[in-house]
Amino acid sequence: MSAGSARRLRRACLAGWVIAGAWTALAQAREYDEARVAAPFLKIGQGARAAGMGEAFTAVADDPTAIFWNPGGLAQITDVEVMFTHNQWIEDFRHEYFGVTVPFEGTWSAAYSLLDLGQFSQLDSDTRQPGDTFSVNDQVMQFGYARSFVNGAICAGASAKLIKEDLGDGIRGQTASFSGGILGVPLWEEPRLALAAVVENMGGELSGFEMPTTFRAGVSWRKSGLLAAQAEALPSGIEDSEARGTAGYPWQSEELSDSLTLAFDVVAPRRGRMEFHAGLEYWLSFAAVRAGYRFRYPRNDLGGPSGLTLGLGLRGRGFQFDYGFDASYAPYGDLGSASRFAVIVSF
């Protein structure tokens, strides 16, 4: 092992030790009383790509949803990007997300999300018959900034949220919260290893309840050119396209490329149950497949298979389309299943 590789490995081990220590300290101090936490809608993940990867996105965070998953990841974005996500959630619930990133002396970002729970009938206190209807919705406006240091090896960022909640019948509230994240790349050569840590939703109270402050820690590993390496390893007789009578393997074309990303997250809320997320993404030229799993300790409420996720992606010049499907093998019963799609345009 070269001296440079040894230094990078020591740096990776040190960063992992720091993240693990911080997570352990927070996990020991937190409580499991979720009923005392406000704004549970802030826990709904943003983006179809992250959804397909089991929401293991803390150490990936390289698209406009980084402002949600890890503000530090915004520094990885070098183009102006606009993103729209539609989440057809359980029953007729609707979750919309719009985000934009602008690189300028770092990377600036703004995002707006809306959770629309639809119309409800108000019961008359005397007759118990439906009366007037009212709507329930939650809105979040978010602003973030990030920049890189040490030749891009470290990305750090922060974001602020303005949160508004409308439960109908005049019951409303609003507050602000803040998040901060860091993403380090101790091995910035291929294969690329990234470590990340985030503290999110730090702030005051909403309608008398505290914000869902949460700590995230993640690691990701990415390797490109897997098929090219496989082609180079083939015997010379197989590599010879003329002897094979074909035009060569698809991955031997200069126009095609591939990459594999593996990710793992640990999520420790101040109040609530610990979660573990794992996911993968594989791109072959313009198409991607994704899979993941989410686990809430000590068990998933809807059964083990409910943690499974799947996703697909397509991309072209300045354009990307993503689709994610939650709980693929165990939908939410009579409430329906959850799926979402996202469109990203780059300039």
* pLDDT score of 71 more than 90: yes
Q: Is the pLDDT of residue 241 over 90?
A: no
Please give the backbone phi and psi of residue 215, each rounded to the nearest 5 degrees, phi first.
-110, 135
**Residue 134: what residue type?**
F
Predicted confidence (pLDDT) per residue in 193-228, tens digit: 999 999 999 987 777 778 889 999 999 999 988 886
What are the angstrom distances between the C-alpha of 203 and each of 88, 132, 210? 29, 35, 8
- pLDDT number for residue 53: 96
Res 37 pLDDT > 90: no
Please state the φ and ψ torsions of residue 46, each to the nearest 5 degrees.
-105, 140
CA nearest to 211, candidates 253, 165, 170: 165
Mean pLDDT of the 97-111 span: 96
* pLDDT band at residue 238 using 50, 70 and 90 as cut-offs: very low
Q: How many CB atoms sit inside 10 A of residue 237's CB?
A: 8
Q: Which residues pair with 311 in a beta bridge?
A: 290, 324
Say how far apart CA 26 and CA 296 lie, in whole Å: 17
Average pLDDT over residues 1-22: 47
Contact 178/158 with Cβ under 8 angstroms?
A: yes
User: Which residue is listed with tokens 């409430």?
Assistant: 335
Please name which of 283, 139, 143, 275 lies closest in space to residue 217, comparing C-alpha atoms.
275
Residue-range domains of the chain with CATH = 3-346 (2.40.160)
Query: Binning pLDDT at 50, 70 and 90, where does residue 19 land?
Result: very low
Average pLDDT over residues 20-30: 42
CB 69 within 8 A of CB 49: no
When pLDDT is cut at 50, 70 and 90, the band that residue 34 belongs to is: low
Which pLDDT score, from 0 to 100, does residue 208 have? 76
Residue 301 pLDDT more than 50? yes
Residue 116 confidence (pLDDT): 87
Segment 284-295, tens digit of pLDDT:
989 999 999 999
What residues are paired with 139 via a beta bridge? 114, 164
Residues 129-169: tens digit of each pLDDT? 566 666 788 899 999 999 999 988 999 999 999 999 887 66
